[in-house]
Amino acid sequence: MKLNSLWKMLDFGEETIDVSHFCSLNYDDSHWISANVPGDIHSSLLATERIPDPFYDSQVDQVQWVEARTWIFRKRFPAIKEVTPETRYFLRFNGLDLFANVYLNGIELGEHANMFRPAEFDVTQTLHTDQDNLIIVKFDPLRSRVAEEELSPQMPEYDSQTRVQVRKAQAQFMWDHTPTCLMVGIWQDVLLEQFEGARLKSPHFRILSLDKNQAVVGIDAPIDQWMNHPELQVDVRMELQPKFSHLMPNVKQTFTSTTTVENGIARTVMVIPHPVCWYPNGYGESALYDLNVTLRTDNRVVDSFVDTVGIRTIRIDQSPDPDEVGCTNFTFVVNDVPIFAKGANWVPTDLFNGRVEEEDYREWLLLLKEAHGNMLRIWGGGQYEPESFYRIADELGILIWHDFMFSGASYPENRPDFYEEVRKEAEYQVTRLRNRPSMAIWCGNNELDWHLDEIQWDQPGAYYPGKNIMHKLLPQIVNELDPDCFYWPSSPYGGNDHNGSQAGDKHNWQTWHAIVDRQFGEKPKSITEFEDQASAVSYWHLGTDQGRFISEFGIHGSPIMETLRRNIPEKGLIYNSPEMIFRNRNIIKDRGDLMMQAHIGIPTSLDDYIDYSMMVQAEGLKYGLEHYRRRKFHCSGALFWQWNDNWPSITWSVLDYYRFPKAGYFFVKRAFAPVMLSVKKLAEHKYTIWGTNDTLADVIDTLTWTYMTFDGEIHHKNSTQISITANTSCPLINLDNSMFENAQPERELLWLHSEAGLFPDNRYFLAGELRDLKREKPEVQMSVETQSEKLCVSLRANAKYAYFVNVLVPVGGVHYSDNWIDLCPNETRVIEIWHKDGKPLLPESIQLRWR
Ligand code: BMA
């Protein structure tokens, strides 16, 4: 039974609080505030207009008092039925944030201080059978309970003395994409569960072996038993979900088995002939089976467990790369198919983490699927997400790279209570997520090993507080509870230094942060040591990156005007106004200016800023992703920073808080297309056209490439038969140098087009830098046709080249087939626009812009 509804809450100050006072059923709480459960206090206060909208202007500063109060939650529910000697009741809070004392009917059940694992209490003796029951939860102000401690070495980042002491989403203490705002509340479900004599404890579904002809799966079901039952049995039933039956017609895909419980565990092994395997997006269907596990005696069901599982194997190939001597691969291999990981980094998606709905997660992940993505990295500064997030990832075929929740700091592992909390949290999370087919890798943390080594650069390999957690405790737990999942100590990790290009994963923050590659024992360089800081941060550095798997790189892009208007007062809608700067939490505020200076120039108006920053982000991501994909499988993944935002801000995300896409989203979508053709510049006048094929079939097509001017003059046009072997990337055509001898690069481009429509058109500006392009702004005509629930928008440029052509309907839930496109002279292209719920869209609402 869920106990989520009808909670009340109230706050108190410094005075000593006598909780027993509220524990009486007669206490009148009619003046208390309705509390959202699951939810956070800020959202409840906002809903009842007790706080101003924290997203508007700088109002987040006005809600900081919330964390400094003591909050009491109160909930009444009816008496339970008489219990038998076999009955046990458990009261379970899936998420309490943070220092909570829980009382039931005036009796203190216990204390809890970890947002990342549930609090569970056996309440069989405490529940009332003859009158209502009453739960009280008291949350203490966090800072009154935390003794700050200076750990050494410590990264001076984001309140690290306080935040590392508590098991709470680290970015709530502030990060470079989010303001300080400490959540408080019952942020996940509250459940009262009843069992008779025994219960199932997290059955573990495992793939014991897999080949084309059969899978052998194991289901281990540990039992918690408190009564002596003569014969406990476990029935297992596994059935392919009907929507996937077409994948294996005429082969029965229902399997059952019964086993007895021995020594507290029921172990089942089942052979599945002709299994229907689960694949990540782009490689096949993400087929799921329903799994039912039932615990019973001869005549009675004692407990049951329902799950959806997938049949797949995942391993990481770290063998030496014969072509790049001294380097090893870092390739995810799913069902023996090497995968190029395409995706991004995921941060908590709302500052007010209790108010995110399942539908929100679905949209965030669906947008990645639509952009041909197949992996998200859940970043260690955030949180383990609620169940629905992972279920949706399973359905959509999005692999999960999961950091444990540690980020950018030393951690007090020498405190026994802290170490113990981490152990319990990791055991819980690994157990919770081990049946998810999307779970691809557990990773110790975000950037500890790398940055702490940089701080202690003259003692490579030195100890840092937290090292035992990352290198001993967590791998032991993963190995014991989910031995089929790969553990990796940190992100980045591997090579010389931990952010090396020779092995493992790498964060490329030369672009944007000017962090250059180094080796163990070398002193890190700071940005002030560069004479030309704009070149030091430019996105061209991505093109020389020899990393094996890029798990972070990124560039800020402004959100659309609608997002700014919703949150910034009129007077602040100016480029670099204090109000705008407030939304940019990167401590070095002018990094975006440096990026624009490097490639396009400094904007003078807000409109130009929106466009210029979006261009730098979009072109930079395109350039980086094309490079990394050309290197397939010397490089086996590109996860850019960052997918989403948790408030309306100026960050590296490609979708803003409202999920309004930036130009970068569509540049990424095109650069992630299963088949991609791209141009690589080798030297002056030397260009090669590459083909990259992520599909599992050879691609045969006719490529038409055109060398032309922005005014539509065609220097060369050629149609060539191309073929790209399945799951490879290779150079296709070396363009003849002589063609470019009289080039006027600032007026010219190369245009790539598929005659069979197998890859999206691509373009290469010969000038390189956007600021060097010499173009006149053309006319663009738009005509709109309504086709059932879609708007089909035809866009046509007159005799000149049009850049960054975008059509926006700034309403939540609107999807676009493409956007921020280029139009060749006299070319017509169609963009389809629809609402996720099929809501009608008005042609008049379309805003057309181009450069
Ligand atoms: C990396 C991430 C985050 C950060 C991002 C942008 O360091 O791991 O900590 O938000 O870069 O600076």
- CA of residue 787 to ligand 1 center, whole Å: 43
| pLDDT category of residue 76 using cuts at 50, 70 and 90 | very high
Q: In what order do the strands lie in the sheet with 190-196?
A: 119-122, 87-93, 190-196
> Whose alpha carbon is nearest atom 7 of ligand 1?
447
Paired residues of 722 in beta bridges:
701
Query: Looking at the predicted structure, is the pLDDT value of residue 729 above 80?
Result: yes
pLDDT in tens, 513-557: 999 999 999 999 999 999 999 999 999 999 999 999 999 999 999
Q: Are the C-beta atoms of residues 72 and 22 closer than 8 Å to each other?
A: yes
Closest to 194 in 3D by CA, of 84, 89, 303? 89
For ligand 1, which residues put their CB under 6 angstroms from it? 175-177, 381, 408, 446-447, 552, 641
- CA of residue 345 to ligand 1 center, whole Å: 10
Q: Are the C-beta atoms of residues 418 and 426 closer than 8 Å to each other?
A: no
The whole-angstrom separation of Cα 512 and Cα 189 is 40
Query: Looking at the predicted structure, is the pLDDT value of residue 20 above 90?
Result: yes
Q: What is the pLDDT of residue 257?
A: 97
Query: Looking at the predicted structure, is the pLDDT value of residue 250 above 90?
Result: no
Q: Is 50 helix (H, G, I), strand (E, B) or coil?
A: coil
Q: Are the C-beta atoms of residues 174 and 64 closer than 8 Å to each other?
A: no
Query: Looking at the predicted structure, is the pLDDT value of residue 151 above 80?
Result: yes
> Whose alpha carbon is nearest atom 10 of ligand 1?
176
Neighbours of 764 (CB within 10 A): 19
- CA of residue 130 to ligand 1 center, whole Å: 55
pLDDT in tens, 558-608: 999 999 999 999 999 999 999 999 999 998 888 999 999 999 999 999 999
CA quadruple 612, 618, 623, 625: dihedral, nearest 10: 160
Structure tokens at 92: 């379970």
- CA of residue 482 to ligand 1 center, whole Å: 28
| Whole-number average pLDDT of the chain | 97
Mutate to test the pocket of ligand 1, among 158, 447, 527, 591 (most ligand atoms within 8 A of CB): 447
- CA of residue 381 to ligand 1 center, whole Å: 9
pLDDT in tens, 87-116: 999 999 999 999 999 999 999 999 999 999
- CA of residue 105 to ligand 1 center, whole Å: 46
Closest atom of ligand 1 relative to the 491 alpha carbon = 8
Closest atom of ligand 1 relative to the 586 alpha carbon = 12
Structure tokens at 641: 């920073």
- Tell me whether residue 426 is exposed, middle or buried, using C-beta atoms within 10 angstroms of its C-beta: 0 to 12, 13 to 18, 19 or more: buried
pLDDT in tens, 421-469: 999 999 999 999 999 999 999 999 999 999 999 999 999 999 999 999 9
Closest atom of ligand 1 relative to the 379 alpha carbon = 8
The whole-angstrom separation of Cα 586 and Cα 439 is 31
